[in-house]
Chain A
Amino acid sequence: MSTGIEAHGPTAGEYIVHHLTHLTSTGHAQTAIIDWSVWNLDTLFFSIGLGIVTLLILIKAASKATSGVPGRFQAAIEILVEMVADQAKGIVHSAESRKFVAPVALTVFFWIFLMNSMDFLPVDLLPKIWALISGNEHAYLRVVPTADLNGTLGMSIGVLLICVYYNIKIKGFGGWIHELFTAPFGSHPLLYPINFLMQMIEFLAKTVSHGMRLFGNMYAGELVFMLIALMGGTATVYGFLGHIVAGSIWAVFHILIVALQAFIFMMLTLVYIGQAHESH
């Protein structure tokens, strides 16, 4: 059985696998690589929940925004907003597009930052609480939505759709199709298929790498936390000390990764949308 903590205690492999299995709508682990009938309830719960938290924080700041002297909370949000606005201004050169693109970037940054931050909770805390609530001590639960490929690819495909929208909006549908076949190598009937292939690869690579980068970082970070937790799980003096030392170091380092990955995802969102505005 690979369903987790059992009376005799799980092996290291069982522990890791249990923690890397999603709480799905079918009640058991997904077997097929792609199965559109399955929902990851844990990812949905935490990403939507943190999305609501994001909006509540931002709306609270927005409703209190005054041109007078800002409080600390307002100033903190304003620093963030100005950072995003400056980046957007430097990358997307259309003021009209920025009205949508800059808020997208802000949402993405804040939301991903919060989702990544779920990594800081002790790896067993929420799964244990969920096991108590659900009454099933083998219940699965993963708490980091960005360590789920569905979560990150969902967002990167969203960015892809925005890119397609702006490609069509800026260049016109005909102009965009024309660009798909004539760039990057030039307008010649023999080059049309090659150009089109290159463009498709470019879009695919952008989107997949965009989602994969965030997923890979958070998945690896989560895995390392689990390994460190395993060390403490040996219940020896060395394991305990190792858990404290390694756990502290990795958590501190992870603060950087959490913020950095959120920032990178935001910046790439802006860069890809900015590219959609430029003609080849």
Chain B
Amino acid sequence: MNLNATLVAQLVVFFILAWVTMKFVWPPIVKALDERAKKIADGLTAADKAKSDLAHAEKKVVEEMRKARESATDVRAAAEKQAAVFVDEARTEAARIIAQAREAAEAEAGVAAQRAKEALRDQVAQLAVAGAEKILRKEINAQAHADLLANLKQELQ
């Protein structure tokens, strides 16, 4: 319990230790602590942001899905409508073609019938002449009766 020069030495050692700690120990540790605290704070903020972003994205997805479904319905309705139009057009076209074909067929048939009639008329005239020849039993001058025959032919038409 005696005092001696050790006291002074201890005093000096005390200040040396304190100075070294202040210079080389305290700043890096406190810096690391502060940085980590900041990192954690940033991380928490980022997590919160990510959470709200996720909620936002989910909402958007639902909205997009709804929109897609709506537009799909629209597209289908339009397609059906267009298909109906196509079918109608095709039907009209078909009817037109049929009618045309019928007309053409009828016209052709008319022409053929006319031709047949004419041929028949010729033959009838000849038959009539031949019949008349036979009936009259006398030679007929064909040239002298040509007018007569033409009139007959005319009448048969």
Contacts and interface: CB of A to CB of B under 8 A. Distances in A.
B4 A154 contact: no
B11 A36 contact: no
A47 interface: yes
Contacts of B26: 62, 81, 99, 102-103, 106
B5 A149 contact: no
Chain B contact surface mostly: helix
A47 B3 CA distance: 16
A47 B7 CA distance: 11
B6 A55 contact: no
Interface in B31-53: 31-33, 35-36, 38-39
A218 to B, nearest CB: 12
Contacts of B14: 108, 154-155, 158
A31 to B, nearest CB: 8
Chain A contact surface mostly: helix
B100 interface: no
A103 B18 CA distance: 6
Contact of A30 (B4, B10, B25): B4
Contact of A40 (B6, B25, B30, B35): B6
A59 interface: yes
A65 interface: yes
Interface of A: 24, 30, 32-40, 43-44, 47-48, 51, 54-55, 58-59, 61-63, 65-68, 70, 77-78, 81-82, 85, 99-100, 102-104, 106-108, 111, 145, 148-151, 153-155, 157-158, 161, 219
Interface of B: 1-11, 13-18, 20-22, 24-33, 35-36, 38-39
Report, nearest first, the 3 A-B pairs whose CB atoms are least far apart.
A154-B10, A67-B35, A150-B6
18 contacts: A33-B3, A35-B4, A55-B20, A58-B25, A62-B24, A67-B38, A67-B39, A81-B29, A81-B33, A104-B18, A106-B26, A148-B6, A149-B7, A150-B6, A151-B7, A153-B3, A154-B7, A154-B14
